[in-house]
Each structure stands twice: as structure tokens, then as C-alpha cells.
A and B are shown apart, each in its own frame.
Chain A
């Protein structure tokens, strides 16, 4: 339950060993480099580094091209989930550097670039041929060579026209009138579906203008024939068909070639990209430093607890490095690294999801942990469901080398579900009311002896427990805020803002309980406690207002905030609602099973199906609800009281990889 103390390290390294030292620091994975201010940058000093970084970025760009290009072809890509479950190859950094050699990868990527070009040539060719074929299809029955309509002969020229069927006669007479005997007009045959007709017009070159004039009044469009087509349309179509076949074959060959190498090349690319990402991160950290001719100066944040490891890792180079360690200066905000133990540790990602705690402020992980597990248990609230999910998750955790955030998430879910088993046992909820609903499960009835609560028939007790837990958590929140105020020297605020509310709220609750006869406490005493709290609040909450009237008015108005606290506590009634929801959904499923089970053997089969599908559905819905609402209670009702989440995550330079497990 703490935030790691950070130290700032300034390190001067002789350039001859800077890369080695940075490699060791990267392997340690606990130093977050600090970028220097822009004024101190002398571009000449870092020019070689920039060149190196550019080269690495080019290599990574090439890797991105390869992986994008191969994605549709590779069949063994491995899913993100499988990788998160630890299903990836192991390499030492040395071995990885050999496998991810620049030369081998460049050969692969050049080959792939070439294949990509051939593939795109073939595909462009195919689409060009398809276009030409579509253009030529209507002309298939034209008996003349197509070059009549492009170059023509010395004496004659030709045109192709398309006219609406209704205008066909008009075209014939217009051209006949203009050219008379010298006209060679050929009408291409039409089918029933055609709405227009194609005409071939061949005429003496000198009559070209007459043809144009004759066509002027008719809505005819001239059809251009691509210049590269010389032969008759029918012959050209045959030739194009052959060309398409060749292109298709060449496309298939290229695709086969790519597919043959896709899986290996894809894997190679993943290794390559991991290795060079490590190199890039290192170079990025280096560029954050200051360079002189012989020396590299870098600064970084390191958790105090890691200093010993850092000193040990760099002890080899004692003579060539110089290290100065300082504590964070006034006004400096180091990054935040949470350091929790046991069951609280996996909760860290959930805390930082809301926001990272400010460095030096309170880390709520430890306090949130028991509340979250308990709330989840109450919301999910079924021992049968809890056992099934916890069992599955435990199996995964034991069988698979899961790491990182996924592991933390699975641990949270496992513990939460075990909590649901506890709550379910205490409320005698096993797959809803299956033990009492199905006679063949009656041997499990002794489990009922463990029941202490029956929320279905006595929801008020469970509601009381839910609201009490809410009240306790809100008080805890106020106490944390109080502690933070005291720590930062603001004792008056601690007394007035939090103390006043704690006394007032406790007084009100005591007053309520004693007047309901649930507490052997004189009502007047409880009332007096509440009054003391109220007086503190009225007297202090308007302290920033200038006039006495303003102070009093704000003080009195602040009491209105009690509705906020009331709302917060009532919000915890969802623990009962969701818990009842799980139990009742289970009960309804069991009821349906019993209804159909009476209908002979088919009914029994149907009942089993309803039981399995129904409860699976119920688990899916309720587990999501339980998780989200338990978390919401922390985020909204609890964190609202005290949590300062303006910190910055600690992001050290690490050997982080996506596709391989580094063994050293």
C-alpha cells in the first residue's frame, strides 16, 4: 500500500561504453529517462544518434510493411490472447539479435517487395484486360479490323456510333443523304434487351466533316476504340482472353510463392520487429541525454529500492561512469510506481485505470482491495457460479504461463469468485436454488446448515448490511482525506472538513438507530453528537467567505451536502439488488427446467440444455454486472472522497517485447 520513493540519477558515461551501459539499464527495466530541455540541445552532438534512430525507424517501417503485406497470407499468426497466455517462443537477447539479423531480413523484405510488385503488376494487368474485354464485348460481331476506327487507311476512315433504337433510321437516312454511294454503313445485330444500336460507318477521309455534320442532329455517341487493338474484335477478344489467362497464372504463381514463405517470413518479421523495437527504445532514451565529444550525460528516475540493483549492474564500468543521486526537488513531480503486496498487487491496474495516484499522495490500492473483493462476492453472490469460474481460472493460471496485466486480471477474478463462493454459501445459493429445486440434489441439503441469511425472503437484513458497508467505506474515505490533510499540514481543514462530517454523519446514524430502538443509546445523546457535527460544519464551511453573513449562509447551506452522502450510501444498495438478481435469475432457470422436466425423456434432455445454457448466460451477464458495479462503487462513491489522481505513470526503459519471451 504504497508509492515507491523515487530518486533522480544523473549519470555521465564514457561514449565507448554508453551502449553497453544503456543495454544493462534497459535489462534492469527500472529507470525512466528524463528528456532534457530543448535549449541545451546541440544538434551537432546528437547527429550520429539521429542517423542511427532514423535507420532503426526505417527498419521498423520495413517490418511493418512486411507484416501488413503478409497478414492475409500467413496462416500461423498466433492470436494476441494466445500470446498473453504465454504462448510465444523464448529467446535470449543474443539469440534474438542473431535471428533478427538485418541482412537476412533485408533479403526477405527485398524478395517480398519484388513479389509485391509482381503481384500488383499482374493484378493491374488483369483489371486492364477486364476493362478492354468489357469495351470489346458489344463489338464482337463487327466484321472489320479495329484499326479502321483508330488509324484508318490512307483513303478511308471509320467511326463507331451508338444511337438509341428509335433513332436508328434517322441515322441511316442522315448519313445516306450526306455520303450517298460512298457510305459503308454496317449495323451491328441487336438483342431484345438492347435499347441502343451500334453502327460502323466507313467513309472516304475527305468526307469526315460531312459525317460530323450529319451526326449533329442525332443523339448519337461516338465510341472510341483503344489504339492498341488492331485485329477484328472477335480475334482481339480471343487474344485478350489468352492474356488474361497468362496474367491469372502469373498472379497465382506469385501468390503461391508468397504463401510458401508467408509463415516463416511473418515469424521472422515479428522477431525482427521485437528486436529493433528494443533498440529503438534504447536509442530514444539516449537521445534524451546530453552529449559531449567523449561523454554522454543522462538523467533518470529510479525507485529507491532498485538503486542497489542498479549499482550492481553498472559496477563493471566503475571507472568509466560517474553517478550522482538526488532526491526529488521542490516542485518536481516524479513518476508514480505503485508497490503493493499479496492480493492487493493485482488490483493496481484497476486503480491506475481511474487515474495514477499523485507522487507522494495516498495509494488507495490496499484499502480498495478487501472492499472490491467483498462487493464482487456480494453482487455475484452464488457459490455454484463462483466455483465454476474460480475453478476454470485457477486451471488457466496453473497451466499457462500468463504474465502481466492479464495475469493480474485473472487473479482478481479468481479471488472475487472465491468470495462469491463464500457469500453464496452463507446465503445458500448454489446455481440459484438448485439444491431445493431438484430432488436428486437433495443430498446436498446439509450445505443449508451454513446459511446465515436468506436474501430472497429477508432482503431487509441484506440491505442493511449493504448500506452499512457503504457507510463504513465512505467513513474510511473521509478518514483518508483527513489523514492527507494532516500530513500536508492542513490540520484545520482535517478537523473542519472531514472531522465535522464524520461527527455529523455518525451522529445522524446513531440518532436513526437509537430512535428505531435498534441501539441502546439515549436519543438525546445521539442527537447531541449530530448537533456538534452540524455546529462544526456551520461554523467552518463558509470560512473563505469575506462577510459574516456569507460565512453563516455558506455554513448552513453546506449541511445540504448530507443528501450527497445519503445518495452515496444508498448507492450501495446495488449490492443487494445485483446479488438478488443473480439468485433470482438462477431460480427462474431452475423453475423452467422443472417445468419441462415433467414431459418424459425429451423433457429431461431439454431441462439439461436449459440448465447449462441458462446458467452459462446468467454467469456471463452477472459477472459483468458484478465487476462493473463493484468497481463503480470504488471509483465514484469512494474515490470521490479523497483520491488525487494527477500522477504520471512510471514508464521505465525496458526490454519489452510483443512476440517473444526474453529468457535473460
Chain B
């Protein structure tokens, strides 16, 4: 029994890291997909009128895609830190694992919600450039306002991961 408990304790650390990484990729990525989907609807709409707007629409609808990349990034750093990829010789205790798992949450949560709202902003901007293509500069800036909070989430996740001593 004791050996079973000891093995569980040994493996729970890495498992928590994996859970954190999975949440970061899963939620931030889902948010991005959702946001891009919303922006896509607007993009497809304006392209029925003017297919030449494809380039502009693509830039705008790609904006909510960054959160997914941030999530992927944090997941990689977490896995790398715990030695689950890249082959680092480290052991992760339960508490360290829990810490790394929690450090993934800022980007998971802020990435998920900010991407959806950024998608909505992008959709609105896409409708804007359908009438005023000359205003593409402003149209790109507006959705970036939402992304700020994903950037902060990314920042905190990285700082937290960096702060955990192994």
C-alpha cells in the first residue's frame, strides 16, 4: 500500500503539470477558434459583396488567433520546465506540479474569454472595413484592445512559471 501511495505521489506532480498545460492549450485554443469563427461569419458576409476584401478580412480575423498561440507557448514552457519534453533531468513534487499547473491558468482563462470578445470586435471591424477600407489601420487597433488582457495573462503565466523553483 505504501509503495502504491509513494508511486502516486511521485506521478501526481507531472500529472498536474500536464493538466495545467492541457488547460492552457485547450481553453486558449478553444477561445481562439470561437473568436475566429465569429469573425469568419462577418468576413464571409462581406466577401459575398466584394471578394477583393479577402486580404483585409484575413488580417482582422486572424487577430483572435494569438491567444491560442499564447496558450500553446505556456503549455510548452510548463512541459519543458517539468522535463516532460526536451529531456531535462528534473523531478517534480506534488506541490511543484500543482504550482506549475496553476501558473497555466491565467492564460487559459484570459485567453479563452478575451479571444471570444476579440472575435466579436474583429467581426465589427470587418463590417467597418466593408464600407471604409481606407480605415484598416483603426480597424486593426480596436480588436487589439481586447487582446491586452490575454497578453497580461501570458505575462503572469510566464512570470509564475519562471518563479517556481525546482
Contacts and interface: CB of A to CB of B under 8 A. Distances in A.
Interface of A: 350, 353, 457, 459-460, 463, 571, 573-574, 576-578, 580-581, 584-585, 588, 591, 595, 621, 624-625, 628-629, 631-632, 635-636
A457 B85 CA distance: 18
Given A353-B138, A584-B77, A591-B85, A628 B152 contact: no
| A577, A628, A631 interface centre (most CB from chain B within 10 Å) | A577
B133 to A, nearest CB: 11
B144 A577 contact: no
Contacts of A463: 159
Given A459-B158, A591-B85, A628 B69 contact: no
Contacts of B63: 624
Given A595-B85, A621-B69, A632-B141, 14 more contacts: A459-B158, A459-B162, A460-B159, A463-B159, A571-B148, A577-B155, A580-B155, A584-B73, A588-B76, A625-B66, A625-B147, A632-B145, A632-B148, A636-B145
A577 B158 contact: yes
A457 B163 CA distance: 10
Given A353-B137, A628-B141, A632-B141, A584 B76 contact: yes
A457 B80 CA distance: 13
Given A459-B159, A573-B155, A580-B158, A591 B76 contact: yes
| A353, A459, A588, A636 interface centre (most CB from chain B within 10 Å) | A588
Contact of A624 (B59, B148, B151): B59
A370 B85 CA distance: 40
Interface of A (DSSP majority class):
helix
Contacts of A353: 137-138
B140 interface: yes
Contacts of A459: 158-159, 162
Interface of B: 59, 62-63, 65-66, 69-70, 72-73, 76-77, 80, 85-86, 137-138, 140-141, 144-145, 147-148, 151-152, 154-155, 158-159, 162
A577 B76 contact: no
10 contacts: A350-B137, A584-B76, A585-B73, A588-B76, A591-B76, A624-B59, A628-B141, A629-B147, A631-B141, A632-B141
Nearest to A584: B73
B73 A629 contact: no
A446 B66 CA distance: 34
A460 B77 CA distance: 17
Contacts of A577: 151-152, 154-155, 158
B73 A581 contact: yes
Contacts of A578: 151
B158 A628 contact: no
A71 to B, nearest CB: 11
Contacts of A635: 141
Contacts of B80: 591
Contacts of A576: 155
Nearest to A355: B138
A578 B162 CA distance: 16
Given A624-B59, A631-B141, A632-B144, A591 B86 contact: yes
A581 B154 CA distance: 8
Contacts of B85: 591, 595
Contacts of A584: 73, 76-77, 158
B60 to A, nearest CB: 11
| A459, A573, A581, A621 interface centre (most CB from chain B within 10 Å) | A581
B132 to A, nearest CB: 12
A635 B86 CA distance: 41
Given A350-B137, A576-B155, A580-B158, A628 B144 contact: yes
